[in-house]
Amino acid sequence: MSTVVRPEASEIAVHWKEEEYFHPSARFIGQANLADPAILDRFTEERFPECFREYADLLVWDRYWHTTLDTSTPPFWKWFVGGTLNACYNCVDRHLAKHKNKAALIFVPEAETEPAQTLTYQELYIRVNEVAAVLRDFCGLKAGDRVTIHMPMILELPITMLACARLGITHSVVFGGFSGEAAGLRAADSGSRVMIYGDAYYRNGKLIDHKASADIAVQIAAAEGLTVDKVLVWRRRDGQDLSNTPMVPGRDFYMEDLVKSVRRHKVAPVSVDAEHPLFLMYTSGSTGKPKGCQHRTGGYLAYVTGTAKYYQDIRPEDVYWCMADIGWITGHSYIVYGPLSLAATVVLYEGVPNYPDAGRPWRIAEQLDVNIFHTSPTAIRMLRKAGPNEPLKYHYRFKHMTTVGEPIEPETWRWYHDVVGKGEAVIVDTWWQTETGGFLITTKPALDPMKPGSAGPPALGIFPVIYDENGKELQKGSGRAGNLGIRNPWPGIMQTILNDDERFVRQYYSKYCRDPKSTNWRDWPYFAADGAVLAADGYYRILGRVDDVINVAGHRLGTKEIESACLTVPAVAEAAVVPVVDEIKGRMPAIYVSLKPGVTDVKQASEQVVATVETIIGKIARPKSVHVVPDLPKTRSGKIMRRILAAISNRMDTGDVTTLANPEIVEQIRKQVQGEGPVELQEGPEDLKRFGEQE
Ligand code: WTA
């Protein structure tokens, strides 16, 4: 409990002006996948859970299921029980009859001088089969095994994922920008004896030696007790060494060599149970250790296919480009599995959005005739700042645009709509999480008006709720912020945290569970760890995380994870990490450390902190600032008051600090961070007002 007096979260009223509605064009509505409001009658609470048959029926099943939802062991829900299918078959093989000569994937290298590469569905089929043959026959992998994939954005990444899915191997893709250390820890947690790498990639014009991470990952995994037998390496350019890191004989193998011996081999897709784990995706939570969110095959694939079809309006004739990295959940659900299941043409871009200039995305859109676009508020802010009029110079035409990952300010939304979408494209602001598999709150693009800054009404078959800290439901239009929950299960929800069922229950269900003995799903609402407000019109506005997670450029970083990294620096005695507002990235970490007695070189210590965070986690965790302070503010029981540090970093009111064990330190830190003179206090965004309240 905090010893500092402050209002309850649920009592914080949220003040902002209501935004105007924007309506989809008649042209969009006329062609939309979801244009008939009768769908609302099919997805009412009375029709739950059978309503989700409609999504499952978009797939090809080898054996049809007998039970849509099994609630016998809550909250470990089972979907489409008794059914069997193969995810790779659904994303590749089934399209060959009609679409084999259509582009499945188009790879756009970062350098504009390098031509794009296209794979048709037939070519994708051949390549996936060859890789599956390598995994099965050379590596001896089979259904139920786990493999860690640490690769940049190249064609071979989705090819490798689909090859795993073909065999029922559970893949765990680690974002390419994470360090070798981070990949090694995740490989160890998942028990992956095989790791798959890319040798190198281009980012911001620089060639990055990615193979170097493999050696670190294997070493870290070994320290955790896991032997990685094989490292398979995809070369960015066949036959060329772009990486300077030597191959380790007997452990490292070039995929191009292995594939040569299985040219045109066919591997029958393995029909797996609907509940068979398709993949793991590690994400940050409120402890130092990232957790492996495990997703099932049937429910997940049904959910991402249904939502990509209805909310992103994807069809085989569309060219769809999502700028996210496949190494995040967005890339899994809405670059690989959803769009390929719908036989779309999917663009993969290797590099950063503004390379070599802010016109690049719009040139790609023009050249490839992209008509459905998907990106994050951070990318939109960045492109807007760097080239506010660039989109107008290019002749592309988007019918639809998605935004995801962070709250989008109405100002930024309007630029996205007016300039990027040329006032014509419809926008969906989709709220969801790694854990949820797919979109949970979004407008139905042809049916609901858009409201800048609000994600919108719940997705079909999803019944959200906003609770105060005591589990009391906040009514719509109350103007009060509370904790967002989902009252019912849905097919895209994760199955569990790998190796930690207990944490799964504690983290997502304990808070609002009404009766731990009940097998009625109504007693088990899902706790999302996000703050939200529900307007009178039924639209949800998402405020941000209520736990120890910082949303940096739409990516989740645990403050505890960063703190653990800081504490490995020998000079550091204590560390606290708090979110600070950043104009482009939304939030960034600010690090406060105190040093061990006798350590005097402050500059060296802060440089070590930055370098260590980058090595242990990755460059995305680079702090906005590091403050070396004499002591951290603490309660009398010795708890570090991160909330006060967040208030200082963001020039917000620190509240009453007189009950702290060391109240005088607050003013000292404030001066150090904000300067000597008086500072104009900011009201601060809602998530920061709530930051640290769980402490
Ligand atoms: C945030 C990304 C506001 C939220 C798909 C959530 C959003 C976290 C939105 C999940 C949105 C996601 N508006 N905030 N449209 N979408 N978030 O697991 O705080 O990387 O809990 O999944 O991102 O991040 P994750």
Q: Are 509 and 497 in contact (CB under 8 A)?
A: no
Q: What is the DSSP letter of 230?
A: E
**Residue 300 in contact with residue 431, Cβ under 8 Å?**
no
* CB 431 near ligand 1, within 6 Å: yes
CA angle, residues 640, 641, 645, in degrees to nearest 5: 115
What are the tokens at 175? Answer: 């974002």
Which strand (E) or helix (H) includes residue 371?
Answer: none
pLDDT of residue 692: 77
Q: Ligand 1: does its nearest atom lie under 6 Å from the Cβ of 120?
A: no
Supply the pLDDT for residue 13: 59
pLDDT in the model for residue 666: 96
d(CA 231, CA 215): 9
How would residue 219 be classed by pLDDT, with cut points 50, 70 and 90? very high
Question: 483 CA distance to ligand 1 centroid (A)?
Answer: 14
CB atoms inside a 10 Å sphere around CB 536 = 11
Rounded CA separation 15/22 (Å) = 21
pLDDT at 69 over 90: yes
Using the predicted structure, report yes or no on whether residue 7 has a pLDDT greater than 60. Answer: no
In angstroms, the Cα distances linking 234 to 200, 231, 252 are 9, 10, 11
Query: What pLDDT does residue 404 have?
Result: 97
Cα of 618 from ligand 1 centre, angstroms: 20
Write down the mean pLDDT value for the chain: 95
Give the residue-averaged pLDDT of 71-82: 98
Cα of 202 from ligand 1 centre, angstroms: 27
Predicted local confidence at residue 297, as pLDDT: 99
Looking at ligand 1, which atom is closest to the CA of residue 283?
A: 18
pLDDT given at position 15: 62
| Residue owning the nearest CA to atom 6 of ligand 1 | 433
- The rounded Å distance from CA 405 to ligand 1 centre is 4
> Picking from 3-7, 315-319, 554-558, 628-632, which range would have the lowest pLDDT averaged per residue?
3-7
DSSP-assigned letters across all residues of 239-297? T-----SPPPTTTEEEHHHHHHTTTT---PPPPEETTSEEEEEEE--SSSS-EEEEEES
- The DSSP call for residue 215 is H
CA distance 513 to 515: 6
Ligand 1 pocket, 434 CB below 6 A? yes
Looking at ligand 1, which atom is closest to the CA of residue 555?
A: 20
- Residue whose entry in the numeric block shows the structure tokens 């016998």: 72
Cβ atoms 438, 432 nearer than 8 A: yes
Q: What's the pLDDT score for residue 687?
A: 85
pLDDT greater than 70 at residue 5? no
- Closest residue (by CA) to atom 4 of ligand 1? 544
Determine what percent of the chain is predicted with pLDDT higher than 70.
97
For residues 29 and 50, the answer to whether their CB atoms sit within 8 Å is no
Instruction: Calculate how far, in angstroms, residue 547's C-alpha sits from the geometric centre of ligand 1.
Output: 13
412 lines ligand 1 (CB under 6 A): no
- Report the nearest-CA residue for atom 22 of ligand 1: 433
Tokens of 184: 């090694």
- Give me ligand 1 centre to Cα 554, in Å: 7
pLDDT-derived band at 612 (thresholds 50, 70, 90) equals very high
Q: Ligand 1 centre and the CA of 217: distance in Å?
A: 28
- String of b and e for 220-232 (b: at least 16 CB within 10 Å)? bbeeeebebebbb
432 CA from centroid of ligand 1 (Å): 5
Please give, one letter per residue, the 3-state secondary structure of 322-361: ECCCCCCHHHHHHHHHHHHHCCCEEEEECCCCCCCCCCHH
404 lines ligand 1 (CB under 6 A): yes
Strands 400-404 and 426-430 come out as parallel
How confident is residue 11, by pLDDT bands cut at 50, 70 and 90?
very low
Per-residue pLDDT at 695 exceeds 90: no
pLDDT tens sequence across 253-310: 999 999 999 999 999 999 999 999 999 999 987 776 899 999 999 999 999 999 999 9
Q: What is the pLDDT of residues 523-556, one digit of tens each?
A: 999 999 999 999 999 999 999 999 889 999 999 9
pLDDT at 226 over 90: yes
For residue 429, which atom of ligand 1 is closest to its CA?
15
What's the CA-to-centroid distance between 551 and ligand 1, angstroms?
Answer: 8
The stretch 650-661 carries a mean pLDDT of: 93
pLDDT (0 to 100) of residue 14:
64
Q: What is the pLDDT of residues 416-442, one digit of tens each?
A: 999 999 999 999 999 999 999 999 999
Q: Indicate the pTM of the whole model.
A: 0.95
For residues 198 and 289, what is the distance between their CA atoms, to the nearest angstrom? 25
Residue 3's pLDDT is 39
- The predicted pLDDT at position 1 comes to 35
Query: For the residues 198-210, what does the mean pLDDT come to?
Result: 96
> Which of 645, 558, 572 is closest to 609 using CA atoms?
572
Q: Is the pLDDT of residue 97 over 50?
A: yes
pLDDT in tens, 554-590: 999 999 999 999 999 999 999 999 999 999 999 999 9
Q: What per-residue confidence (pLDDT) applies to 289?
A: 82
pLDDT category at 677 given cuts 50, 70, 90 is confident
The response to whether residue 378 sits with its C-beta less than 6 Å from ligand 1 reads no
Residue 4 pLDDT > 90: no
Cα 637 to ligand 1 centroid, rounded to whole Å: 34
* Binding site membership of 430 for ligand 1 (Cβ less than 6 Å): yes
Ranking 8-17, 565-574, 600-609 by mean pLDDT, the lowest is 8-17
Which residues face 576 on adjacent strands?
A: 592
Q: Which amino acid residue places its CA nearest to atom 23 of ligand 1?
A: 405
